[in-house]
Structure 1
Amino acid sequence: MGFVVEPDEAQEWIAADVRNAEVLFPYLNGEDLNSRPDSSSSRWVIDFNDWDEARAARYRLPYKRAAELVRPERQRKKPDGSYVLRNPLPERWWQYAEKRPAMRNAIADLGEVLVLAQVSNTAQPVFIPNGTVPSHKLVVFASDSRALLTCLASSVHYVWARKYSGAMKNDLSYSPSDVFLTLPQPTTTRRMEQIGAVLDEERREIMLRRNLGLTKIYNLVHDSRIVDDKDVERLRAIHVEIDDATVEAYGWDDIQLDHGFHSYRQNERWTVGAAARIEIVDRLLEENLRRAGTADQARIGSPSGMTQEGGDRLFN
């Protein structure tokens, strides 16, 4: 938290030296993502990335703040004189503990990225501008695809996440390795791209106009007492289309989704019916087995024993 700066102070630092804008960025956490109507950050953060200390020190005010608040914490010592924290934290105290270089490289050429609050009852992905620094409680998907937004906003993804992620109280605690990396994604379609764009644009407009964040707007969506609200009815209809487009992409047009208000994990939600949820999970498991078998056959058939092109991507 020693890196975190209030917005007014960040602007003062930039006014004092315009170069400070090179190391000050909006800092987004899960609470901001789900509670603010524009899903924007409420604070800023000092980010020296992987720079050496001499380069970081050129930015006097941000460096001074980190030296005052971060260095003492990072360089605490045990009675024997050794550092309390693991290497390289004490030696490179001006850098984040986890800089996530792979993530930074993956999103470098994107104007925006998809993010999801790791702990949330809403469990809805949102696009944010690249250049925002995500907290460790946000899951970042290196994509600006509206089709991927459709997939991740769908009931298919939600029931898979509920099955393979943990929970905090009754909120989903999303595990990317257990959910996203094991979800056999469908081949994306134009319909998925189109309805993903509709969700992004219309949901954003409704939230801003009504001054409601993701959590509050979806509380209305999932409340069966809300019956004469055009915005809520529109969001429900969009999510029906999201689910229809997703199951169509899998080739599962025969599943009766039975959208409506259903009891799910001790909550009432606007979602697909219980039978549809069971069928979706069963078919996803079957699809994983099918793809695993295809990958095994590709390895066997390859003269070098290596997987043929695309075969090593078991879970797209």
Structure 2
Amino acid sequence: MLGTGFILESEEAQTWIAQDPRNAEVIFPYLNGKDLNSRPDCSASRWVVDFNERSQEAARQYKLPWWRVFDKVRPERAVKDAEKYPRMVNEWWKYWNSRPAMRKAISGLDEVLVIAQVSNTLIPELVTSGQVFDQKLVVLSSDRMWFLSVLSSIFHQDWAIKYGSTMRSDSVYTPSDVFETFPRPEPTSELEAIGRTLDTERREIMLRRDLGLTKLYNLVNDPGLEAGTDPDVDRMRDIHVELDAAVAAAYGWDDLDLTHGFHTYRKMTRWTVPPATRVEILDRLLEENHRRAAAEAASLPAKKARGKRRTQPSQEETLDV
């Protein structure tokens, strides 16, 4: 977005909409990773002006948003090098990159799955699609409960920790190295059911206890909270045990030892499977990744095969979505 002048406090945004309901067409909740992981309802704490690809003439019709951007954004961008940043200088009322592909992908969805790119939880959450997403949120164009299950599982989390990067003590979810290379199982009714259970019961616990995702999973992963100490924590652990079993079954890997306990890896203590199982899971996922890549390459003409999806993470820069 490259312009804090677009951002509004929630009260101001609501006042603008009350004064002119048309302003709701160009101001939206602005969700970032901190809000996603810290607020009990995973809602945005601030709003933002978003003219998308409207022309200057069209944007000027929204008087309060227009003058805010004119006063707060235009001066900052006017001093930029027009040759290096032509869009920023010549179309200063627009975002540097409005993510048209992402907008198109989620346009038909009421909710989407999002993951904070820098986090120690790596937990996806379903949120409303009608908002502006910060570039440090990974936005996935799906609202399916089976997909929530897969991305909430130890299979996906271990893959993300292994092939993502790190920032201080947090994991960094790089879509090109994690999501694009992760071999997902086919959907099943069991995955759909446990995903719905996770979503419904987790929301209820978070709202009732005023907990964000990070605080809730800090409790789930706290070895000091023994079984029977906190019924909500016990329930969350049970759900994740059932969820991991459903994902393993979807892969056809019912022979895995999924006995959960507290284990530490890369200075993170989690309620998860034994270290030997984690290694086995990563080995099988990588083997499956290679198998699918080879099958895909074999089905393509020779020229296209050379550009097939890579099977190993690279040092490619994280995508801002």
What's the TM-score once normalised by structure 2's chain length? 0.91
Q: Secondary structure of the residue that 2:142 maps to in structure 1?
A: coil
Select between 8-17 and 216-225 the one with higher mean Cα deviation: 8-17
The reply to whether residue 23 of structure 1 matches residue 26 of structure 2 is yes
The Cα shift of 1:224 comes to: 1.2
The Cα shift of 1:267 comes to: 2.2
- For residue 104 of structure 2, what is the aligned residue in structure 1? 105
Q: Secondary structure of the residue that 1:181 maps to in structure 2?
A: coil
The Cα shift of 1:104 comes to: 0.3
Q: Is the 8 A contact 2:82 2:90 kept in 1?
A: no
Paired with 1:269 and 1:260, the residues of 2 have a C-alpha distance of 8
Runs of 4+ in 1 over 6 A off after TM superposition: 304-307, 312-315
Paired with 2:167 and 2:43, the residues of 1 have a C-alpha distance of 24
> Residues 151-300 of structure 1 correspond to what in structure 2 (within 5 A)?
151-227=150-226, 228-299=229-300
Q: Is the 8 A contact 1:5 1:44 kept in 2?
A: yes
Q: Is the 8 A contact 1:116 1:125 kept in 2?
A: yes
The reply to whether residue 60 of structure 1 matches residue 63 of structure 2 is yes
Q: Secondary structure of the residue that 1:253 maps to in structure 2?
A: coil
Paired with 1:232 and 1:280, the residues of 2 have a C-alpha distance of 25
- For residue 142 of structure 1, what is the aligned residue in structure 2? 141
Paired with 2:17 and 2:293, the residues of 1 have a C-alpha distance of 53
> What fraction of aligned residue pairs are identical, expressed as a percent?
54
- For residue 10 of structure 1, what is the aligned residue in structure 2? 13
User: What are the superposed Cα offsets for residues 178-236 of structure 1, whole Å, 9 maximum, x if unpaired?
Assistant: 00000011111111011000000000000000001001010100001112111000000
The reply to whether residue 34 of structure 1 matches residue 37 of structure 2 is yes
**Once superposed, what is the RMSD of the aligned Cα atoms?**
1.7
User: What are the superposed Cα offsets for residues 118-163 of structure 1, whole Å, 9 maximum, x if unpaired?
Assistant: 0010110000011011111110000001111011100000110011
- For residue 75 of structure 1, what is the aligned residue in structure 2? 78
The Cα shift of 1:314 comes to: 8.7
Q: 1:279 to 1:87 in 2, by over 3 A?
A: same
The Cα shift of 1:19 comes to: 0.9
Specify the code of the residue in structure 1 equivalent to 2:33: G
Paired with 1:69 and 1:149, the residues of 2 have a C-alpha distance of 39
Specify the code of the residue in structure 1 equivalent to 2:254: D
What's the TM-score once normalised by structure 1's chain length? 0.92
Paired with 2:193 and 2:97, the residues of 1 have a C-alpha distance of 36
Paired with 1:214 and 1:58, the residues of 2 have a C-alpha distance of 39
User: What are the superposed Cα offsets for residues 217-272 of structure 1, whole Å, 9 maximum, x if unpaired?
Assistant: 10100001112111000000111111111111111111112211111211221011
- For residue 92 of structure 2, what is the aligned residue in structure 1? 93
Q: Secondary structure of the residue that 2:180 maps to in structure 1?
A: helix
The Cα shift of 1:305 comes to: 8.0
Paired with 2:218 and 2:6, the residues of 1 have a C-alpha distance of 33
The Cα shift of 1:299 comes to: 2.9
Q: Secondary structure of the residue that 1:88 maps to in structure 2?
A: helix
Q: Secondary structure of the residue that 2:28 maps to in structure 1?
A: strand
Comparing both chains, which one has the higher relative contact order based on Cα–Cα distances under 8 Å and sequence gaps of 6 or more? 2
Specify the code of the residue in structure 2 equivalent to 1:45: V
The Cα shift of 1:313 comes to: 8.2
Q: What residue ranges of structure 1 are gaps of 5+ in the alignment?
A: none
Paired with 1:174 and 1:3, the residues of 2 have a C-alpha distance of 26
Q: Secondary structure of the residue that 1:2 maps to in structure 2?
A: helix
Paired residues, number? 304
Q: Is the 8 A contact 1:33 1:117 kept in 2?
A: yes
